[in-house]
Structure 1
Amino acid sequence: MGQPENRLDDEDYPAYTMGRAAEIVGCSPDFLRKLGEAKLIEPLRSDGGHRRYSRYQIRLAARAREMCDEGTDIASACRIIILEDQLEEALRQNQARQDD
């Protein structure tokens, strides 16, 4: 995972507990569990078995919550976000190839 000073900038470092992540997103811990069940986010487990979330996962959860607040069901919101993420990655790879 890198040195401690590098973790401050690491979007994927699982720094947040479930309670803190839920507080940041403005949702319940159960909502985060449902996002895990829908395969949108897969939190790392601490040695004690507690879920830990990264900033990237929190951003995805916040987007899902926003979509659900607008009336989209959780499964559809998760699928849309996964597809958006895949598209963004494909566009990034395509741009990198064009730059070579």
Structure 2
Amino acid sequence: MTADDSFGRIDDDDYPAYTMGGAAELLGTTQGFLRALGEARLITPLRSAGGHRRYSRYQLRIAARARELVDHGTPIEAACRIIILEDQLEEAKRINEEHRRAAESSNPTTTA
């Protein structure tokens, strides 16, 4: 990968740009917390060539939401389940909206 190739990934939310230590520092948490999120299968960090965990900005947002829930007293397993359900709900809403738009475009109503 050249410098020009990597520059294009600056805005890529899925690019695993953060080391475990860097991610923990950004989130104000411990590396153990990030490992626990991985063990709970909430986020699955990619691995560098050397086997080190690497996190994307998208994964950091998920981890930040988990930390928020845990900081408010939610057990980590429950926090992970809540986040998964929130994600499923958002996906269902998106799909429903797509279906609604498709139905409206195929059956336009007339207004008086």
Answering whether residue 82 of structure 2 is matched by residue 80 of structure 1, we say yes
**Residue 7 of structure 1: SS of its match in structure 2?**
coil
Unmatched runs of 5 consecutive residues or more in structure 1: none
Q: Percent identity?
A: 66
- Whole-Å Cα distance in 2 between the matches of residues 74 and 34 of structure 1? 8
The residue number in structure 2 matching 1:35 is 37
1:83 partner letter? L
TM-align CA RMSD: 1.2
The residue number in structure 1 matching 2:91 is 89
Matches within 5 A, 1:1-100: 3-100=5-102
Deviation at 1:22, TM superposition (A): 0.4
**Residue 8 of structure 2: SS of its match in structure 1?**
helix
2:83 partner letter? I
- Point out 4+ residue stretches in structure 1 off by more than 4 angstroms: none
**Residue 54 of structure 2: SS of its match in structure 1?**
strand
- Structure whose alpha-carbon radius of gyration is higher: 2
Aligned residues: 98
The TM-score with structure 2 as length reference comes to 0.82
Deviation at 1:6, TM superposition (A): 3.4
Unmatched runs of 5 consecutive residues or more in structure 2: 103-112
Query: Which structure ranks higher in relative contact order (CA pairs < 8 Å, sequence separation ≥ 6)?
Result: 1
The TM-score with structure 1 as length reference comes to 0.91
